[in-house]
Amino acid sequence: MGFACCGEGEEWHPIVMGFNRLKILLIEHSFLKYWKATDDNFPVLERLVLINCKCLKEIPIEFAEIHSLQLIEVDLCLIELGESAARIRQQQQDLGNNPLDVRISHPRGLLTYYFITLFFRRAPDLLFHHPVLQAGS
C-alpha cells in the first residue's frame, strides 16, 4: 500500500502524477486548511479518508473528476467538509460517473436540528453516523 504525506503545514500542493498508483488517501490529525489537487494528482484513487482534520473546510472539487473514486469518509471534521464531500458526490452524479459513497461521522461544530434536516433533505441517501443523534431516533 502506498502512502502520501501532506506535510505539517496549512497548505498542500501535491505533485502532479506523484501519486499515480495511490488507491487510498488518508489525512488524519491534520491542521491542513487548504489543498490544491486535480484528477491528475490521484488518477486511480478509490478511497479518500479524512479524520480529525480540524481546519479543513473543503475537498478540491476536482475530486469529482476522479472516475475511480468510490468512497469519501469524513470523521471528526468540520461540518463544511462534509458538505464539500456531498457536493463532490453530486458533481460525480452530474458527470455520469460511478456512484460515490459518502460517509460522515461525528461532525464538529454546531449541530442543530435545522442543519441536519436541511442537509438530509438535499441528500437523503448519505450515510450519517453520530451516536448521540442515533440514540434519540
Q: In this structure, is residue 57 part of a structural domain? A: yes
Q: In this structure, is residue 4 part of a structural domain? A: no
Q: pLDDT above 70 covers what percent of the chain?
A: 72
Q: What is the DSSP letter of 114?
A: H
What's the rounded Cα separation, in Å, for the pair 112 and 116? 6
The pLDDT, as a whole number, for residue 47 is 97
Q: Which residues of the chain have pLDDT under 70?
A: 1-9, 109-137
Which 3 state secondary structure label does DSSP give 132? helix
**Which grid cell sits at 134?**
442515533
Q: In this structure, is residue 5 part of a structural domain? A: no
Domain that holds residue 96: 11-135
Q: What are the φ/ψ torsions at residue 27 (nearest 5 degrees)? A: -120, 120
Q: In this structure, is residue 2 part of a structural domain? A: no
Q: In this structure, is residue 20 part of a structural domain? A: yes
Q: Sort residue 7 into left (φ over 0), alpha (ψ -120 to 50) or beta.
A: left
The pLDDT, as a whole number, for residue 38 is 84
The pLDDT, as a whole number, for residue 117 is 56
Count structural domains, the chain.
1
- Is the alpha carbon torsion for 115, 26, 20, 126 positive or negative? negative
Q: In this structure, is residue 114 part of a structural domain? A: yes
The CATH number linked to 35 is 3.80.10
Residue positions counted in the chain: 137
Q: In this structure, is residue 1 part of a structural domain? A: no
What number of other Cβ atoms are within 10 A of residue 116's Cβ?
Answer: 15
